[in-house]
Structures are given as C-alpha cells and as structure tokens.
Amino acid sequence: MSQTRQGSDAKPLDSQVLNAEESAAFKAMKQSPVRIVQIGEGNFLRGFVDWMVHEMRRQGKYDGAVAVSQPRPSGKAKLEQLQAQDGLYTLIVRGIEQGAPVERIEKIAVFGEFIDPYTQWEALLALAERPELEVLVSNTTEAGLTYQPTEVSLDKPAISYPAKVTALLYRRFLTFGADPAKGLLLLPCELIEGNGDELKRCVLQHSADWQLPEPFMAWVRDHNRFLNSLVDRIVTGYPGEEAAQWQERLGYDDKLLCSAEPYYLWAIEGEAGLESKLPFQAAGLDVVWTGDLKPYQLRKVRILNGAHTLMTPIALLNGVSEVRSALEHPQLGPYIRDAVELEIIPSLASEMAPAETKAYAATVFERFENPYNRHRLLDIAMNSISKFRARLLPSLEGYMSAHNGELPERIVKALAHLLRLYKVRLVEDQFAGERFDGSDYTIRDDRTALEFLAAAWDRYEAGTHDRTQLVEELLDSDLLWGKPLNGIPGLVEAVVEQFKGMKEETT
C-alpha cells in the first residue's frame, strides 16, 4: 500500500488509487456474480461480514460479490458515498492479539452493486430473479428486526426490513416457482435472540397480511434457511479525531474509513455443510457452525452488550464520550465492573457456569480497554430503549429470581439514567437531550417512542406530573419495554430514588 505523504491534497479513494494487484482483484470482483444481498450499509457489516467476504475472495475460496442496500431512508448518504468510492473502503484492525499489539490495514472490495430501495425498488426486487443469488445478510439494529403492520409492498418500497425481505422472496418465488434449490440462506446479524426465527416469523406474518398464496408460504417455511446467528466484534467505525493523520499516512481520503478490534466471532446455528455456500472456515475465519447458539448468545448479549448499554446513559450524561474513558473513570469504572461481576454474571448462574462467564467478562474488559478503540458512546446509544429491553431487562429479572426478589441496584441505576438520557425535545426534526453540564446531544431511536418520552417529560416539566408519576408512566409503557414494568415489586420506588441521587436534581 502506498504511504505517500499528501495531507489535505490527498485524492479521494476510488478504483484509481489501487495498485496493480488490488486493481486486478477489484476488476475480478466486479465481474463476479452477486451471490449476497446485504441490507445494511453501516460500519458493523463493513467491519465484519464484508471483511470476511473480502478475505474469502483474497484466498480464492469465494467467487461472489455483494449487492448492498440501506434499510432506512437516512442511509442514502452513506450508500452514495460508497458509490462515489467505487464501493471501496479501508479497514483498520488494531489492538492486542495474544498479548502483542497488532495493526492491519486493508482496502476492502466486495460491493458489486448499490441499490437505494426507496428510489430503486424494482432494482432491489430484480435481484431475486438471479439464479446465482444465495445469501441475504442484514444488520438493521434490534429495532429494525420487528414486525410492523405494512400495506402490501410488492410494487412500492417497503419501509420495514422484514417487509422488504417478504417482497424479495415473493419475487423469487414468482420467478422460480417452488423450486427448493432457489431458496435463500438468510443470516440476520441483529443482536436479538433467535434473530433468524424472528425474521421468519415476520415474513410469514406479512405474507398472511398480504394474502399471498399458501404455496409461497410453504416454500418460505420449507426451502429458505433463516439461521439464528450471533456476531461479536467491536467495530468503532470512522476514526474522526485521527482522520487527518490517516489521510496523510494512506495517501488518499477515505470518507468511509472504518476501524475494528482484532477479536471477532460469528456463531451460526446451522450445519457445517453450509460451508459450500459460505466457506468461512476454509478461509481460516473464526466462524462456528453450531447446533446450539444459546451459550454464545447469552454471554455476548448479556455481558458485552449489556455492559455497553449499562454504561452509556450515565457516562454520556456525565460528559464521558467513549467506552475506554468510562472504564478508566474513577467512579464509573468500578460501577461498570461491579455491575457485571455482582449483578449480570449472577443473573446467568442458572444457565451458564460462573467460571465460564467470569472468564468471558475478563476478555470483554480487555477489549474495552484496547487503546486503539475509540468506541463512541453516542453511537452505542442508538436505539438504547430496545437495547435495554434485550440486554439488561433479562439480567434484572434473572437477578431478582436468584435473589428472592431483590432488585439489582446498579442495573436499576442504569435504567434511571436511561430514562433521564431520554429527557428530549424536538429540535429541527431531531430529538435533543441535555447533559448534566448543560451541553446537548442527539438521540436516535424509534420516532414514536421518542415522541412518547418527550411528551411524558414535558408533562413533568410543566408540573402536571410529579417524579413518581413520571416514572410510573414511563415504566408502564408496552411501547418501550414490550410489557409494563410497574408490576416489578419496588422498581418504581427504586428508580425514583435513583433520580434523587443524580448530579442534576430533576425536580
């Protein structure tokens, strides 16, 4: 790779920047059939799945390319940036591996096509007509993999991700009939338990809603593989504060520069024979085909992701912006570690051996302290309500079950600060909150949920609700938590008490 010093005059990354070897690989990729359709243009898939596809191609183990599409209209800008860079981006892998520092830099080239589903709906559906298409992969966040009643979307863009998949599969069924060989392998990477099962459930519900024929639904059930999977890698995305240094070092300007840690794991609930479609292990990648995903799922979602969700509200409100800084903070660091050791791990005692969970937690904290990771808490904060529901609410309930109804104080503290984080107001079509020091931040989440939270806080600020009534209203919401939480003994009172102890008085 060129290390030419060009500073602010560096040319933008595109296929003209590639050296001879990279150019040959890029041209070969562009001539390859699209075997994977990817719903999701964000950092995680580019630092995880797309890097794996690139690695398989580099080793000559795979001959497919990826067609990428964004799940939300807001992703249009990033999709256009990918197109402007000919689908190329740079992945920086930095961290500690087997006790030694490592740094690897690669230009990734896997995207053969770019499709905006909101302006090119027919082009997205037309992918289903290609006999060589085999795989659909996605990451639309936990909030994206949900069923939302939707008008029939066979000839107009579907908004929700499952509705898009339904329309895509129906076009494939119409093209190839009930041919068992033309079913797809669907690999959702959203961090919810049973993500493949949930996607299948949503697709079948949309099929029923749209009164699609029973032979189609039978084909979906019997000949498409909706695989549950668990992904594990910290992908911190664009290294904003270091962007100028990287541009100078690389000799080109990459607007989609992406950084990730060395550690990664993809556990997929499926048979090893699926290697014929995706030869991960043949390429030496750390992908596990397993008959039981639950142990991988539990420890990852409850410990690593749970710790992220636990630390984010209190850290952001106190002006801490990154994961590593939170771990190094004299008060927050011990709070986070104690919450994992004394509340989250004990909540798993009936399902996993404590020695195993403690060993995994130790690796998690080592990864959090990676000096190269600039993992921004505002990025982690996206969709924090659904993340708490999936990651920390089970730990709260599991802890209470194991401790005769006692509430886990540190998780309750995280919940109280989460509610305070969502003390938001609408500003120019975005929802803004205010830290304890008065500075603003923007919250990204389901708009209906944000409107509900903003209205509840407005009533409190206007004096029509006192603090207890505010907490009761927020915890009683099926919209936020999937079920009312007011029935958990003592929870309302404990959250109210936590509000009293916050740096900023909420009365």
pLDDT given at position 369: 87
Q: What is the pTM of this model?
A: 0.74
> How far apart, in whole angstroms, are the C-alpha atoms of residue 500 and residue 466?
13
Number of H helices, E strands in the chain: 23, 18
**What is the CATH topology of the domain spanning 294-500?**
N-(1-d-carboxylethyl)-l-norvaline Dehydrogenase; domain 2 (1.10.1040)
Residue 192's pLDDT is what? 86
pLDDT at 275: 96
The span from the CA of 195 to the CA of 200, in Å, is 9
Topology alike, domains 12-265 and 294-500 = no
Superfamily of segment(s) 12-265: NAD(P)-binding Rossmann-like Domain (3.40.50.720)
The residues facing 39 across adjacent strands are: 69, 138
What pLDDT is attached to residue 8?
53
pLDDT of residue 370: 85
Note whether 121 and 73 are within 8 A (CB): no
Mean pLDDT by groups of 10 residues along the chain of 507 residues: 47 96 97 98 96 98 97 92 97 85 95 97 98 97 87 91 97 97 97 93 97 98 97 87 90 94 94 96 96 88 95 97 95 98 95 90 89 86 94 97 97 98 94 96 94 96 94 96 96 96 61
- Closest to 204 in 3D by CA, of 154, 162, 143, 142: 162
- Structural domain spans, the chain: 12-265, 294-500
- The token pair at 415 is 């919940």
Say what the pLDDT of residue 344 is. 97
Question: Is 384 within 8 Å of 309 (Cβ atoms)?
Answer: yes
Q: Which residue has the tokens 């996206």?
A: 382
* pLDDT tens per residue across span 201-250: 999 999 999 999 999 999 999 999 999 999 999 898 888 778 899 999 99
pLDDT on residue 499: 94
Helix (H, G, I), strand (E, B) or coil at 390: helix
| Rounded Cα distance, 400 and 390, in Å | 17
69 Ramachandran zone, left/alpha/beta (phi>0; psi -120 to 50): beta
Tens-digit pLDDT profile for residues 134-190: 999 999 987 789 998 999 989 999 989 999 999 999 999 999 999 999 999 999 999
Note the pLDDT of residue 504. 60
